[in-house]
Amino acid sequence: MRPPRIAREVRDAIEARYVAGSEPSSVLPSERRLAAEFGVARATIRAALAMLREQQQIRSVGGGPPVVVDPRLTKAPQLTSFTQDARARGWRPSSRVLDAAEEQADVTVARDLGIPPASGVVRVRRLRLADHSPMAVEEVWLPQAIFPGLLGHDLTGSLYELFETEYYAGILRHDRRISAISLDDQLAALLEVEAGSAALFATQLGFDRRGRRVELGRSIYRGDRYDFTTVTFAARRRDASVPPADRAWRQRRLVAEGAR
């Protein structure tokens, strides 16, 4: 049932005054103070705060006062799963399996996974959620030879944990490429945003400890809920480790030797 209009208006007012632009972990006023400030009943305040929690804009820990959270989930350069990232933020990760099947690898999938065309693969497409809020749609192709019987397992949890515990094929490295896209009607409906909203499209190839290509993934991340961080190093010349004075001396010596 849709919340009453007054509760939605109070939610918007609380968001504008106390959430938008606030630092993460900022504490909101008490329900009593908010009720007095906006001239509404505490039940209305509780309904408004509940909506903000559902939107993952605030959260409460151990019965304490609500605090502002950063609604974006940041992917650090370290290789971590969605489940690990969500849990680190104090969110409850979950998945809804949209489709899962055993099929033959087409030419593109076979090439990326380094297997012959028409080899058996398992394709799993899932909607990833944090505190019941949709965050991403992911689709992966996995070599059936490495993951036999995968469809007999629960696929709503962390696949990476399943790979490690059941198949001893933990992901050690990702090769990932990220680009910006706009969501079509179908994807927008799954992610509960407007059609045409910005999103991040990531393709990734996962390698296990033995260097095998064990995962080809294509994921769509909500642009308003996700960002990625990278670590970049400056390019070094071959002689960059040689002090400038030594480089000058070496250059003079080479010139002198060339003149002999």
Residues 25, 83: Cα–Cα separation, whole Å: 22
Torsion of CA 182, 183, 184, 190, to 10 degrees: 180
Torsion of CA 135, 137, 139, 140, to 10 degrees: 0
Q: Among 150, 143, 149, which residue's Cα sits nearest to residue 118?
A: 143
The predicted model gives 25-39 an average pLDDT of 90
**Which range is least confidently modeled, 37-46, 66-75, 122-131?**
66-75
- Residues 32 and 119 reside in one and the same domain: no
Residues 188, 180: Cα–Cα separation, whole Å: 15
Residues 252, 246: Cα–Cα separation, whole Å: 10
Q: Using the 8-state DSSP alphabet, how is residue 231 labeled?
A: -
Q: What is the pLDDT of residue 15?
A: 87
Any idea how long the chain is?
A: 260
| Amino acid in position 224 | D
What are the structure tokens assigned to 222, written together?
């909500």
Comparison of pLDDT for 200 and 253, the residue scoring more: 200
Q: Which of 16-20, 45-49, 137-141 has the highest mean pLDDT?
A: 137-141
| Amino acid in position 189 | A
Domain that includes residue 92, residue range: 73-228
The predicted model gives 165-194 an average pLDDT of 93
Is the pLDDT at 241 greater than 60? The verdict is no
Is the pLDDT at 70 greater than 70? The verdict is no
Using pLDDT thresholds of 50, 70 and 90, give the confidence band for residue 118: very high
- Residues 97 and 13 reside in one and the same domain: no
Q: What is the pLDDT of residue 132?
A: 83
Side-chain-side CA neighbours of residue 138 (13 Å): 24
- Residues 130 and 19 reside in one and the same domain: no
Residues 209, 99: Cα–Cα separation, whole Å: 28
Is the pLDDT at 88 greater than 90? The verdict is no
| Amino acid in position 103 | E
Residues 256, 260: Cα–Cα separation, whole Å: 7
Is the pLDDT at 152 greater than 50? The verdict is yes
Q: Using the 8-state DSSP alphabet, how is residue 81 labeled?
A: -
For residue 12, what is the domain's CATH number? 1.10.10.10
Q: What is the pLDDT of residue 229?
A: 77
**Per-residue pLDDT tens for 187-225?**
999 998 899 999 999 999 999 999 999 999 999 999 888
**Mean pLDDT estimate for the chain:** 86
- Residues 85 and 115 reside in one and the same domain: yes
The label of the residue with tokens 């949890």 reads 157
| Domain final residue, candidates 36, 68, 100 | 68
Q: What is the pLDDT of residue 1?
A: 45
Is the pLDDT at 244 greater than 70? The verdict is no
Using pLDDT thresholds of 50, 70 and 90, give the confidence band for residue 59: confident
Count of the separate structural domains present in the chain: 2
Which residues partner with 190 through β-bridges?
none
- Residues 126 and 219 reside in one and the same domain: yes
Q: Using the 8-state DSSP alphabet, how is residue 30 labeled?
A: P
- Residues 91 and 28 reside in one and the same domain: no
